[in-house]
């Protein structure tokens, strides 16, 4: 995949990051380099090899269905920029 | 609507699993708490937290899969679905993309005319719910409550097999029935425990290819589901017949205006950039575990319905009604186990009990007349202690909380049926003697007047006389 400046702007928008125009070129080059590395790895023959999504040969440990968390709203909201009636306030979003 | 269009509907149903805690954190998953009092560091996506899977989600999802005859994935993995929204603080939802826990399966629905239709299920996968955004005015800002964030969901995706709003509702109700029977979910739609997304499209009758569809999201009642689909069908028909094209879009149903409206489309096309969740390892689901779940499953609604019909001799309709909810079916069966008369139990449960529950808006689990009390009343009808008419009074007394013992109440109120002929005979004799005109009418062939005599005896005995015995006695006396 070709990483163009357009692709970088699109990704920035998807993740809601504000990117200065001045940084776009550098980011584009950086992402091109990352994908070039991936392309290099693509050259390896992986026929018949199971995809590995995790390096640990283990299965997930599970947790019993029990409440172990206490209400720490006051603590968490002490660092929130804006709260009201127990809610976190964020810039208005309406679909 | 003109007849040349065929409606094609597929549903995605989000079912909240009835767990105590959330899917990846130890926060309580109870509905209705004060905002953000059940939102832990993990639910808030604070740095450094890691998800740990709640083991209770697997038996529930697997029970659902077995209940629809699906394949259960041997490996259950999670993926990240990336999108930005403030009620999803991580910036991604942990869900299952490539390896859902439930694959395939089918559900049989019953249509209004009584015929059955099979709806195929594509898949069902586990995922976490998002928080809630409150758009009421907080000084021009949006309020976020993350109590719901991380509530475990099973998203059940159907094939586009439904052809009308009624079929879609019937399918949704069947899924609701199944998940409540299996204790997968409490199914409380007023609390959002079951929400539907409806994919609706039209195509020319006989066409193979599907038309462009719209997705109406987050419909939380069966009535709204029906209304939303009907609205979409009319709207799309109008667009197509006026030569227009359907835009593939997400819409919301507004119950106040009874219409669907497009959600504001984002300037950029959605791209969820799925990838395997690196914080969670695969969970291996072996055959022994699946067998254990299978062994612990209760009888399914369809099986119960068939058994009520074939083994208990109930009508098709009664079998359907009494198996419709697990609570109701259990009540009925508890009752039958004591009184051993399925037909009479069915009549009482369907009639007086359901009538009372509907009238007073009470859940069966809170019924003032327990299955045991109901059975006790039926037993006293069977053994001749009380008449069916008096039984209704006893039922009402228990309902109104005047007593909690059927037998005590019958005794203390002197409701025992007068059935010995030595008690009834003098009463009948006296009534015949006092009404010579009616007696003469009867003897001259006007047998309708029998009802008059029976009525008089019942009045005299305050309804406690055994009606059949009264009938027989009067006839024999009048024919003497």
Mean pLDDT per block of 10 residues along chain B (480 residues) reads: 83 98 97 96 96 97 98 93 92 94 95 91 98 87 96 98 97 96 94 96 93 94 96 96 92 92 66 91 92 95 94 93 92 95 95 94 92 94 85 92 88 76 81 88 85 86 79 82
Complex ipTM over 0.95: no
Mutate to test the interface with A, among B30, B40, B145 (most CBs of A within 10 A): B40
How far apart (Å, rounded) are the C-alpha atoms in residues A9 and B296? 53
Residues of A in contact with B286 (CB under 8 A): none
Residues of A in contact with B144 (CB under 8 A): 87-90
**What φ, ψ does residue B230 adopt, rounded to 5°?**
-60, -40
The predicted pLDDT at position B268 comes to: 52
Residue that the structure tokens 């208990």 belong to: B312
Asked whether the beta carbons of residue B41 and residue A72 sit closer than 8 angstroms, the reply is yes
Q: Which domain holds residue A18?
A: 5-43
Residue A54 lies in a domain: no
**How far away is chain A from the Cα of B86, in angstroms, using its nearest Cα?**
7
Residue A86 lies in a domain: no
The predicted pLDDT at position B1 comes to: 47
Here the tokens at position B8 are 């094609």
Residues of A in contact with B282 (CB under 8 A): 53-54, 59-60
Q: Find the CB nearest A60 among B82, B273, B282.
A: B282
Cβ-based neighbour number of residue B463 at 10 Å: 18
Asked whether the beta carbons of residue B26 and residue A66 sit closer than 8 angstroms, the reply is yes
First to last CA, chain A: 32
**How far away is chain B from the Cα of A36, in angstroms, using its nearest Cα?**
19
Here the tokens at position B312 are 């208990």
Q: Which residues contact B286 (CB under 8 A, 6 or more apart)?
A: B74
The predicted pLDDT at position B445 comes to: 84
- B126 and B61 Cβ atoms separated by less than 8 Å: yes
- In B314-425, the DSSP E strands lie at none
Asked whether the beta carbons of residue B145 and residue A58 sit closer than 8 angstroms, the reply is no
How far apart (Å, rounded) are the C-alpha atoms in residues B163 and B168? 8
Here the tokens at position A21 are 């125009």
First to last CA, chain B: 72
Q: What residues in chain A have per-residue pLDDT under 70?
A: 1, 53, 94-95
Residues of A in contact with B251 (CB under 8 A): none
pTM of the shown model: 0.82
**How far away is chain A from the Cα of B250, in angstroms, using its nearest Cα?**
10
Which residues, numbered 6 to 65 in chain A, qualify as contacts with chain B under a Cβ-Cβ cut-off of 8 Å?
10, 13-16, 53-54, 56, 58-65
Closest residue in B to A71 (Cα–Cα): B37
Residues of B in contact with A94 (CB under 8 A): 135, 142, 264
Q: Find the CB nearest A69 among B40, B53, B280.
A: B40
Asked whether the beta carbons of residue B145 and residue A87 sit closer than 8 angstroms, the reply is yes
Mutate to test the interface with A, among B48, B142, B260, B284 (most CBs of A within 10 A): B142
Closest residue in B to A56 (Cα–Cα): B281
Residue A57 lies in a domain: no
Does A79 lie at the interface with B, CB-CB under 8 angstroms?
A: no
- In this structure, what DSSP letter does residue B210 have? -
- B92 and B83 Cβ atoms separated by less than 8 Å: yes
How far apart (Å, rounded) are the C-alpha atoms in residues B206 and B5? 9
Asked whether the beta carbons of residue A68 and residue B21 sit closer than 8 angstroms, the reply is yes
C-alpha to C-alpha distances, B211 to B4, B169, B200, B208, B478, nearest whole angstrom? 13, 21, 9, 9, 78
- In this structure, what DSSP letter does residue B27 have? S
Residue A56 lies in a domain: no
How far apart (Å, rounded) are the C-alpha atoms in residues B87 and B330? 40
Residues in a beta bridge with B15: B154, B194
Asked whether the beta carbons of residue A69 and residue B27 sit closer than 8 angstroms, the reply is yes
- Residue closest to B36 by CA, chosen among A8, A53, A74, A57: A74
- Residue closest to B15 by CA, chosen among B55, B49, B52, B63: B63
Residue A33 lies in a domain: yes
Q: Find the CB nearest B20 among A53, A67, A87.
A: A67
Asked whether the beta carbons of residue A65 and residue B21 sit closer than 8 angstroms, the reply is yes
**How far away is chain A from the Cα of B405, in angstroms, using its nearest Cα?**
39
Q: Find the CB nearest A14 among B19, B271, B280.
A: B271
**What φ, ψ does residue A42 adopt, rounded to 5°?**
-60, -25
How far apart (Å, rounded) are the C-alpha atoms in residues B448 and A15? 86
**How far away is chain A from the Cα of B326, in angstroms, using its nearest Cα?**
24
Residue A71 lies in a domain: no
Closest residue in B to A63 (Cα–Cα): B54
Residues of A in contact with B53 (CB under 8 A): 60, 62-63
Closest residue in B to A13 (Cα–Cα): B268
Residues of B in contact with A58 (CB under 8 A): 281
Residue A28 lies in a domain: yes
Q: Pseudo-torsion of CA A18, A22, A23, A29, nearest 10°? A: 140
Residues of B in contact with A13 (CB under 8 A): 267-268
Residues of A in contact with B90 (CB under 8 A): none
The predicted pLDDT at position B113 comes to: 85
Residues of A in contact with B84 (CB under 8 A): 14-16
Which residues, numbered 57 to 76 in chain A, qualify as contacts with chain B under a Cβ-Cβ cut-off of 8 Å?
58-69, 71-73, 76
Please give the tally of structural domains in chain A. 1
Residue A24 lies in a domain: yes
Closest residue in A to B279 (Cα–Cα): A54
């Amino acid at each position: 995949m070709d990483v163009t400046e357009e692709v970088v702007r699109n990704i920035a928008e998807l993740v809601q990051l504000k990117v200065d125009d001045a940084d776009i070129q550098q980011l584009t080059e950086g992402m091109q380099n990352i994908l070039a590395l991936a392309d290099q790895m693509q050259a390896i023959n992986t026929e018949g090899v199971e995809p590995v999504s995790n390096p640990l040969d283990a299965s997930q440990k599970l947790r019993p269905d029990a409440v172990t968390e206490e209400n720490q709203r006051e603590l968490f909201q002490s660092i929130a920029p804006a709260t009201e009636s127990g809610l976190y306030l964020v810039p208005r979003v309406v679909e | 609507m003109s007849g040349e269009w065929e409606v094609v509907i597929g549903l995605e149903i989000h079912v909240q699993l009835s767990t105590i805690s959330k899917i990846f954190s130890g926060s309580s998953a109870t509905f209705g708490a004060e905002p953000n009092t059940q939102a832990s560091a993990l639910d808030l996506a604070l740095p450094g937290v890691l998800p740990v899977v709640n083991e209770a989600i697997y038996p529930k999802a697997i029970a659902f899969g077995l209940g629809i005859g699906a394949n259960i994935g041997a490996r259950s993995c999670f993926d990240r679905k990336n999108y930005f929204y403030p009620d999803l603080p991580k910036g991604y939802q942990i869900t299952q993309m490539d390896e859902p826990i439930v694959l395939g399966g089918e559900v049989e629905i019953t249509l209004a005319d009584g015929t059955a239709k099979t709806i195929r299920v594509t898949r069902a996968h586990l995922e976490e719910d998002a928080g809630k955004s409150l758009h009421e005015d907080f000084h021009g800002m949006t309020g976020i409550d993350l109590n719901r964030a991380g509530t475990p969901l099973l998203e059940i995706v159907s094939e586009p097999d439904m052809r009308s709003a009624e079929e879609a509702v019937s399918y949704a109700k069947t899924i609701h029935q199944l998940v409540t029977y299996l204790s997968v979910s409490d199914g409380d739609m007023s609390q959002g425990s079951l929400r539907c997304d409806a994919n609706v499209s039209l195509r020319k009758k006989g066409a193979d290819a599907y038309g462009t569809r719209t997705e109406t999201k987050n419909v939380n009642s069966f009535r709204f589901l029906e209304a939303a689909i009907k609205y979409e069908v009319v709207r799309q028909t109008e667009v197509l017949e006026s030569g227009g094209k359907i835009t593939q879009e997400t819409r919301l149903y507004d119950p106040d205006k009874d219409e669907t409206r497009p959600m504001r489309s984002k300037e950029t096309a959605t791209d969820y950039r799925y990838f395997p969740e690196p914080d969670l390892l695969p969970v291996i689901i072996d055959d022994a575990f699946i067998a254990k779940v299978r062994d612990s499953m209760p009888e399914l609604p369809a099986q119960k319905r068939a058994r009520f019909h074939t083994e208990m001799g109930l009508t098709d309709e009664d079998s359907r009604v009494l198996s419709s909810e697990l609570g109701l079916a259990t009540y009925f069966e508890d009752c039958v186990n004591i009184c051993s008369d399925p037909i009479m139990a069915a009549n009482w449960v369907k009639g007086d009990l359901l009538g009372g529950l509907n009238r007073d808006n009470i859940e069966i689990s809170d019924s003032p007349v327990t299955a045991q009390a109901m059975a006790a009343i039926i037993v006293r009808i069977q053994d001749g202690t009380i008449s069916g008419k008096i039984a209704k009074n006893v039922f009402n007394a228990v309902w109104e909380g005047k007593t909690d013992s059927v037998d005590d109440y019958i005794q203390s109120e002197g409701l025992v049926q007068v059935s010995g002929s030595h008690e009834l005979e003098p009463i009948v004799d006296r009534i015949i003697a006092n009404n010579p005109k009616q007696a003469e009418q009867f003897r001259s062939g006007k047998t309708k007047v029998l009802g008059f005599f029976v009525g008089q005896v019942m009045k005299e005995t305050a309804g406690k006389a055994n009606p059949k015995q009264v009938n027989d006695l009067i006839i024999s006396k009048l024919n003497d």
